[in-house]
Structures are given as C-alpha cells and as structure tokens.
Amino acid sequence: MEENKTTNSSTQEINIEKTTTQENNQQAKPRRDRPDRPRRSQNPHRKPKPANSNTEAVVPEVNGNIITPEKEVDGNKKAPQKKAAPKQQSRKVNPNTAPSKPPRKPSNRTGNGRGRKKPLAGPLSDAIKASLKENEAVNDVRMNPWKQIDVSNTNKIRFTPLGGLGEIGGNMAVMEDDESAFIIDVGMSFPDETMHGVDILVPDFSYLHAIKSKIKGVVITHAHEDHIGAVPYLYKELKFPIYGTPLALAMIENKFQEHGLMEDIKFFNYVTKRKQYEIGTFKVEWMHMTHSIVDACSIAIESKAGIMVHTADFKIDHTPIDGQTADLQRFAHYGAKGVLCLFSDSTNSHNPGFTKSEAVVGKTFDTLFDLAKGRVIMSTFSSNTHRIYQAMERGIAAGRKICVIGRSMERNIETTRRLGYVDIPDKHFIDAHEVPKYAEEQVLIVTTGSQGEAMAALSRMATDEHRHIKLKPSDTIIISAHAIPGNEGSVSALMNKLVKAGVTVRYKDFENIHVSGHAAQEEQKLILRLIQPKFFLPVHGEYNHIHKHAQTAIACGVNERNILLMSDGDQVEITGKYLKKVKTVKSGKSFIDNQNNKEIQADIIEDRQKLSSDGIVNIAVQISKTSKRIIGKAAVSSHGLVPDKEDKRFAHEIENIIETFLINAEEKQFATPKAIQDELRSIVRKYIVRTKRRYPVITPVVFMA
C-alpha cells in the first residue's frame, strides 16, 4: 500500500513538471499571426482543462436526460445538446391504477427542436375586414370602369365599316343612331396587279346615298392617303360638313383644287384638340396621337348609348420628332369614365414588343450620308413629314442643296412649310433643272416612288426617262419605306432597274432605314389597359390582323364574348347590354384612273382581266336571210388564245361551227342580228371552253343580206 502511494505521488510530480515545462515553452514562443496578443492558453477567460485528462468527467443527469459533454471539432466547441430519451413501448394503462403524472398538453413547439413557440393567427379584426372589402371594391372599379355604364339605357349605336377591314388601306366607316350619323375617314387603297389600268381604289358610296339624310358630317383623323384619298370622289356625289385638323384639311384642299372642287372648302371645320364638337346627336373630341404623319389624332365619341373611343392609326412614340407625345392623359380620362366600346388599329398586331421611335431613322440617315460619295436620292411616302424633315436636316448639315421632285411630294412639303410644321429656309432648296450646276456631293434629291409606281419620279429615273435627273454610278438611292401589301412585285421590279443602272441602293440592308407608324402588341396593350372597355372591335387590317388583336384584348381582360370580328359591310349594333351583327350592307370598290380622275366600270376591269389571261376572239360574218348560209367566208381572228401558226386552222374550225349552227337553227333564232350574235357567242364559247379550257372575250358581228 505505501509503495503504491509513493509511486502515484512520484507520477503526479512528473506530470506537474511536464505541464510546467509546456507552459514555459508556450510563453517563450510568441504567436506568428499576432505577436502582440497572448496565446489561447494564456487567455484569462478560457476555461481551464481538468488536471487529469485521463479521468472521465462526471456526466450530470437532469430529469432523466443525459447532457452530453462538450466536444471540440476543428477548434470549435459544440453547444451542449440533450440526448433523446429512449422510446417507451406502448402499453395498456390499468384503469385501477392512478397515473403517476398528468397527461401532457399538445405541444405548440416548432419542429426545429429549439423549443420556439409557433405563432397562431388570431381572428381578423373588423377594421381589416372593412379595409379588404373597400380595396376590393376600388380595384373592381379601377379594373372594370365600364361597370359605371347604365345597362338600363336602351339607346342603340350602329357601326358600319365600308373599307379598311380585310385589307390594308381604304379606311372608311359610318357611326349612326336613330336620328343622325357621321362618317369616319374616306380613304383610298392601291389596286393589285390584276387590275389593269387602275391607279387607286375608293370605297363604294351606295350605303351613304341610302342614309344621306341622316349624315351630319365627315370626321378626319389624319392626312394619310388611306384616310383622305377618296374625299374628292365622295364630294363629287355627296356634300357634308367636314371636320379635321389644319394639316388634314389643307391636304384635302390640295385635292379639291386638282378635282375642281374649290367651292367645297366652305364645308371645312378646323378643330382644336381636347375640345368637343357636336355632330348631330354625337359629341366628338380629337386627341393627339403619334403616327408617321404630323397632327394624327384619335377620337372620343359621346353618344346617347355611351362613350366610344376610336384610335385610328397610331403608335406610342415617346421621343417624336416634333416633341408632341400621345395624349395618353385623355385616354385615361375617358377610360375612368367608363368606355362602352373601343375601336383600335390592328395593322401590326402580330409584332411583339414596341414599334421603334421615328428618331432612330435619323441616326441611320447619319450613317448613310457619311457613306455617300455622290448625290443622295431619298424616296419615301410623300405624307411622312417627319421622315422627310430628318433627311433634309442631314442634307443641310452635310452642305447639300435640297431638290424636291414629284407632284405629291412637292405639294405636301409646301403645305407643311406653309403651316409651320417644317422650318427650313428657302435658300436651301433648288429646282430640278438646277441640279447639274452643283457638285454631286452637294445635292440631296427628295422624291416619290418608294412603292414602285410606274409614273412616279424614281421609276422614271430608273428607266432613264426623267427629263432632268439621269442616274450615275456614284449616286446613292435611299428607299426609306417598306412595300405595302400588294406592291411587293412593283417594288422588286424597281429595285432591279436601279441595280442595273449601277447605283448604290440602300433599302433593307440597314435595320432602321424605316420604322412603322403602327402600334405593336405592347402599345396595343397600353391603350387597352388605359381604356378598359366593355366591348372591343378591332379595325384597320386584314382578318388575321384583327383576329390577333382580339387575342391581345382577351389577354388584357376583355371578355371574349364582348369582341366581334368584322368585315367590310358588316353592321354592328352596340348597346349597354350587348354587341351583335345585325345585317350586311353593300360595300366594295370603285376603280379610278388617275390620268383623268374618272371611274372605270367594273365590267371593263373584268374584260381586261379576261383579255390578259384568256385572250379575245373576233368574228365577222355575213349571212343571207333567204338561204340562211354564210355569204363568202367568215372573218375570224384571235389574240392571246392560239399561236399565230394555228390561226388559219382555228378560223376554219369556228367557220364550220357557224355553218352547222345556221343549218340547224330555228326561225326564232333569226329574229334579229343581235339574236344571232348572242347565239354565236354562246356556241363558240362552249367550243373554246371544251377544247382550250379558256374563257376569252368573244365579239361576233353579224351582217344580214
């Protein structure tokens, strides 16, 4: 026993000496990272280690749970954690034995094991409920302002498009109630390649003649040709007061001057924007809108049935050239009052995003003018004032004189300058015959013909038929426009002629050489959200355009049942309760020859189409009244039906058919020469259709002897 005690005491002394030696070594060896601070072992706040590390520490026990000792992991201490008690096997409780502990209440602790209480939501207070209800009512009024409309109002409005639906251009519509009516725009459109000799198309005015006693005026939204081009043709038949902005009526005045209608300018009424004008039982307000022409407007219409808004052609340009942005405040104003029906432009309804600003074209012009070494010839729509103005500004900055060529271009630029929309001094302009006097790098020519019109100035330059301008290889041609649907062929033909002439053509190879004047989907959505209408009628465009616009409206909260897709001639009835098509009125197109400003009848166009595709057959024959036989030989000639080498055989076949007919003809078929001509036309047509599969124009001439 004493030996063991002696051994243990000596062992403890050795351990104490080792510990003292280690502490002395640590004191002698400073820290490498922070020598000014003591080592961890000398920290007075550090818990001292137990004297004998081999002795196991006593683990305390609290309420049957064992607290695990602190363990050091990577120099960090873990907080003491409770060791989970072992699960007890379920067993039946003896009812005669009282429980040693009361049953535990349901825990309100979260599942993270930290003992934090989970907050329980209390009942909503009356104040919160009232606030939620009030906000819900406010949001309902804000998102559905049309609910303010009095549905007990039995007044009816009828809207009838006579042009602009199912086509691009030719926009014209009639709005009427039981007492009065007014016309919205009277525009023209372009013919397709099958309409030979036709320059423009104007709407059929038959329905206007039928309701002329109700019509109280014509409302013009802006001065594009597809909205005012047919006005002089209407005023040759019917005359009404006409309302529009100064530029729109000034351009109509130019047309009246060409057509000899200057006396009709007494019907002009110049409007002020944001001011209402009474037209019959309607009140109409013009609201400024951005487009590819100056002074474009949308209109707000107050009727007996409710408020309606017609956007006309538009886009939302936040950086317009003249600084006059769209009057979105008025759109919101009428939207908050509750709009019964919205009519909106659908031309670019397939284009996602936003239409680019007109200002981006000016930056492209900067690049093109820098690249041009000789003359610059720029062609665009003659009514696109902002585009023309930007080109002129770049030309003046480059030290070029401006030459304007083309009747419509000259007239429109002169009008906009006279009204103050274009501020360029006279000293910068020269006439066409003065162009050779200046060096090539000092000339800018602004001209018409961007659509490949055969008689336009640019087309005559391309075919070397222009009196003053002869194209040179050093010239740069800028076509700042896109082909209107139907004009693609003529524009392509123009491009081929220009390239053959050896000039540099800038068309689609530059991204922003042209931007549209019509709204893309996001701009359409903006108008839909500002107005929040009950009913929606997409206008201005082909059927696929208005269908796509309808889908956009549905996405913006318009009920699908409150949208109707129309075609020209469809008459739609609008009330506070419903929107429906009631009938179809006569619509169509009249064909105009610009050389004499006269209408071409439809049967002439049909004959021209037959001549171009099926040809013509001329028959001259002399028949004896007594013998009912051909005297001599029948003269038969054809064009566009059979080759020249087969003319004789074809003539012989027709002559045999005529002789056979005369032998078998009844007495009544010989009543008059006209009766014989009709019979000959019929049998010859049947023969040609059966043998040639063609429907030519057949003109028989019969002489009775």
326-350, pLDDT tens digit by residue? 999 999 999 999 999 999 999 999 9
First-to-last alpha carbon distance for the chain, in angstroms, is: 171
Count of Cβ atoms closer than 10 Å to residue 431 Cβ: 10
Residue 582, token pair as written in the block: 């009631």
Candidate from 48-62, 131-145, 312-326, 689-703 with smallest mean pLDDT: 48-62
CATH class of the structural domain 359-506: alpha beta
Residue range(s) of every CATH 3.40.50.10710 domain in the chain: 359-506
Tokens of 173: 């519509």
- Closest C-alpha among 519, 580, 578, 582 to residue 553: 519
β-bridge pairing 242-244 and 268-270:
parallel
- Choose the most confident range, by mean pLDDT, from 297-306, 507-516, 612-621, 662-671: 297-306
In CATH terms, the fold of domain 157-353+517-591 is: Metallo-beta-lactamase; Chain A (3.60.15)
Across the range 599-620, mean pLDDT stands at: 87
% residues pLDDT > 70 (the chain): 83
Range name among 464-468, 527-531, 671-675, 685-689 with the lowest pLDDT average: 671-675
Pick from 369, 435, 382, 437: nearest CA to 413: 382
Lowest-confidence segment of 70-74, 369-373, 453-457 by average pLDDT: 70-74
Mapping DSSP to helix (H, G, I), strand (E, B) and coil, where does residue 91 land? Answer: coil
pTM over 0.85? The answer is no
**CA neighbor of 210 nearest in space, from 483, 585, 641, 578:** 585
Please tell me the distance from the alpha carbon of residue 338 to that of residue 344, in angstroms, as a whole number: 16
d(CA 141, CA 137): 6
Residue 257 parent element (H or E): helix 246-258
When pLDDT is cut at 50, 70 and 90, the band that residue 628 belongs to is: confident
- Give the DSSP letter string of 302-337: E-SS-EEEE--S----SS-TTS----HHHHHHHHHH
Nearby residues of 260 by Cβ (< 8 Å), 6 or more positions away: none
Measured CA angle at 265 (ends 262, 270), to 5 deg: 150
pLDDT value for 353: 96
Q: How many CA atoms lie within 13 A of 181 on its CB side?
A: 18
Domain boundaries for CATH 3.60.15.10 within the chain: 157-353+517-591
Question: Are the CB atoms for 598 and 609 separated by under 8 Å?
Answer: no
User: CB 519: neighbour CB atoms within 10 A?
Assistant: 30
pLDDT-derived band at 38, boundaries 50, 70, 90? low
Angle between helices 543-555 and 521-531 (to 10 degrees): 50
Is it the case that residue 25 has pLDDT exceeding 70? Answer: no
- Residue among 211, 184, 190 at smallest CA distance from 202: 190
Helix 647-664 / helix 673-692 crossing angle, nearest 10 deg: 130
The whole-angstrom separation of Cα 62 and Cα 30 is 43
> Exposed/middle/buried for 647, CB within 10 Å: 0-12, 13-18, 19+?
middle
Q: Cβ distance 378 to 392 under 8 Å?
A: no
Domain with CATH 3.10.20.580 in the chain: 614-704
Token pair in block for residue 341: 């029906």
- 181-195, 242-256, 312-326, 536-550: range with lowest mean pLDDT: 181-195
Indicate if the alpha-carbon torsion angle 692, 693, 694, 699 is positive or negative.
positive
The pLDDT confidence band at residue 6, using thresholds 50, 70 and 90, is: very low
| pLDDT bracket for residue 53 (50, 70, 90) | very low
Give the pLDDT confidence of 396-450 residue by residue, as tens digits. 999 999 999 998 899 999 999 999 988 899 999 999 999 999 999 999 999 999 9
CATH architecture of 614-704: Roll (3.10)
Phi then psi for residue 561, to 5 deg, are -70, -15
